[in-house]
Structure formats: C-alpha cells, structure tokens
C-alpha cells in the first residue's frame, strides 16, 4: 500500500471545538495508516507543499485567509 499522509488544519470559533475535532480526526486517520500533520494556523496552506498530502482536512469556522 502506498504511503498516505494527511494535513489536518484546525482553528476558528471555539464553540465548534476545532482542537478536539482535529484530535479525533488524527486518531481515526492514524488508525487507518495515515501519517498525520496537524496545524493550528491557516498558514499551513501556504507554508506546505500541499501536493505531498493524500488528504487535507480543514476544521476551521469563521476564519479569513489573507494574502
């Protein structure tokens, strides 16, 4: 099986518990054999070579991406 990797990006409004959800997604993905990178900043979308990830999981509410 090919290596699988995931990027989980969490943040935004705390009412949706983004950190807890990111942790849940991380556990689920690792159990399925993914190597998981977790980030708490939207800069993850500009700082990483996104083509290296098999899956991107944005867990963010009420945020803004600025140039």
Sketch the domain layout of the chain as residue ranges: 16-43+55-60
Query: Quick check: helix, strand or coil at residue 7?
Result: strand
In 3D space, the residue among 66, 21, 22, 25 whose CA is nearest the CA of residue 46 turns out to be 66
CB 59, CB 21: distance < 8 Å = yes
Please report, rounded to a whole number, the percentage of residues in the chain having pLDDT higher than 70. 96
pLDDT tens sequence across 43-63: 998 887 999 999 999 999 887
Dihedrals φ, ψ of 32, to 5°? -95, 5
| Mean pLDDT value of segment 14-25 | 94
The pairing of strands 4-12 and 55-61 is parallel
For residue 67, give both structure tokens: 């140039």
């Amino acid at each position: 099986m090919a290596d699988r990797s995931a990027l989980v990006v969490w943040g935004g409004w705390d009412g949706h518990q983004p950190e807890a959800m990111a942790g849940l997604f991380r556990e689920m993905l690792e159990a399925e054999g993914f190597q998981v990178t977790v980030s708490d900043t939207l800069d993850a979308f500009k700082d990483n070579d996104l083509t290296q990830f098999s899956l991107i999981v944005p867990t963010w509410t009420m945020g803004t991406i600025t140039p």
